[in-house]
Amino acid sequence: LFADHPDDATVYAYRVARLDQGREAYGGTALRIAHVRVESQITGEAWEAMYALLYFGGHDVTCALRGWEGRAAYDRMKEELLRRFAHHSLADMVRGLDEFFPGEPFALPHLFLDERRQVLGQVIASVLDQHEETYRRIWQENHKLVRYLRQVDTPIPEALAIVARHVLEQETLATLARLDDGGGALPERAAELVREARALGLALDLTSARPTLQRALLGALDAVASEPGPERVTVVRRLVEDAGALGLEFGLWDVQNRFFEIWQAQPDARPVLAPLGTTLGFNLDADVA
């Protein structure tokens, strides 16, 4: 419901094959019914199941699951639940789930932590999107006042601080999302927004930009690996330095590991690579020379 998955997907240590599916949606609600086969990639044990997932909107999701009992039972359940859903009666749908799936249903708290956060992030984003224009209008109408209050050392009202933080945060994230996977400098607009937030005493949460920054850095390092010239090294150094100056996280450990692979694989290029190693926190003389 919240993300498209292929019919054959890997979920942690499990391979999940979707063998059949039925889905409908209306007015912010949705129903998905499926027959799946789950196989452990560690033990090889496999299990077939059928489920029905009902989305009421927002964070309200319920999922009922039972073991596979044959095609006839599955088709009967699927046809009946789709029929009830088509009548637009959620109460009737809930009764249907209880009839076909005895026992306690599953909900968002049963998801793995990362997936739960991802789903809730989408839910929150959807809620905020409905009011985004309002936030931006409030900020546009009051940003001069907010800056003046800061200049004269007067506390910014909490309501205005929340709006300012949200608008600056979202605009910064949108700007960073346009960063080229192949590297290049961070957009100057992102730096301007972060500096403005700092000047107002606001801390932005930019952790969701980490995957984008990491892809850009690893892509730039791949370019260095293919042709370790000074210009390409400078691109990576600038990205690292700019991200550090703005307090942006990018997965330093993974970037350091990739650099070290290049360092070991290309000893002739070490004079060119050395400045980048220093930027990444390596003690070249002691550790990697």
Phi/psi region, residue 12 (left: phi>0; alpha: psi -120 to 50; beta: rest), is left
| 152 burial level (CB within 10 Å; 0-12, 13-18, 19+) | exposed
Contacts of 196 (CB under 8 A, 6+ apart): 168
pTM of the predicted model as reported, rounded to 2 decimal places = 0.61
Beta bridge partners, 33, equal 22, 52
Cα→Cα distances 46→20, 36, 129, 208, Å:
17, 10, 41, 35
> Mind listing the pLDDT tens digit of every residue in the chain (289 residues)?
667 778 998 888 999 999 999 999 988 899 999 999 999 999 999 999 999 999 988 888 999 999 999 999 999 999 999 999 998 888 899 999 999 999 899 999 998 888 888 888 888 888 778 888 899 999 999 999 999 999 999 999 999 999 999 999 999 999 998 887 655 678 999 999 999 999 999 999 999 899 899 999 999 999 999 999 999 999 999 999 999 988 888 888 999 999 999 999 999 999 999 999 999 998 875 344 4
Could you write out the three-class secondary structure of the chain? CCCCCCCEEEECCEEEEEEEEEEEEECCEEEEEEEEEEEECCCCCEEEEEEEEEEEECCEEEEEEEECCCHHHHHHHHHHHHHHHHCCCHHHHHHHHHHHCCCCCECHHHCCHHHHHHHHHHHHHHHHHHHHHHHHHHHHHHHHHHHHHHHCCCCCCHHHHHHHHHHHHHHHHHHHCCCCCCCCCCCHHHHHHHHHHHHCCCCCCCHHHHHHHHHHHHHHHHHHHHCCCHHHHHHHHHHHHHHHHCCCCCCHHHHHHHHHHHHHHCHHHHHHHHHHHHHCCCCHHHHHC
What phi, psi does 11 have (nearest 5°)?
-120, 105
**pLDDT of the residue at 121:** 83
* Polymer length in residues for the chain: 289
Question: Does residue 31 contact residue 89 with C-beta atoms inside 8 Å?
Answer: no
Question: Does residue 34 contact residue 49 with C-beta atoms inside 8 Å?
Answer: no
| Distance separating alpha carbons of residues 158 and 22, to the nearest angstrom | 47
Tokens matching residue 135: 């936030």
CA atoms within 13 A on the CB side of 208: 16
Tokens matching residue 138: 């409030």
Question: Does residue 9 contact residue 33 with C-beta atoms inside 8 Å?
Answer: no
| Distance separating alpha carbons of residues 201 and 207, to the nearest angstrom | 18
**pLDDT of the residue at 127:** 79
**pLDDT of the residue at 128:** 78
Tokens matching residue 130: 């409905």
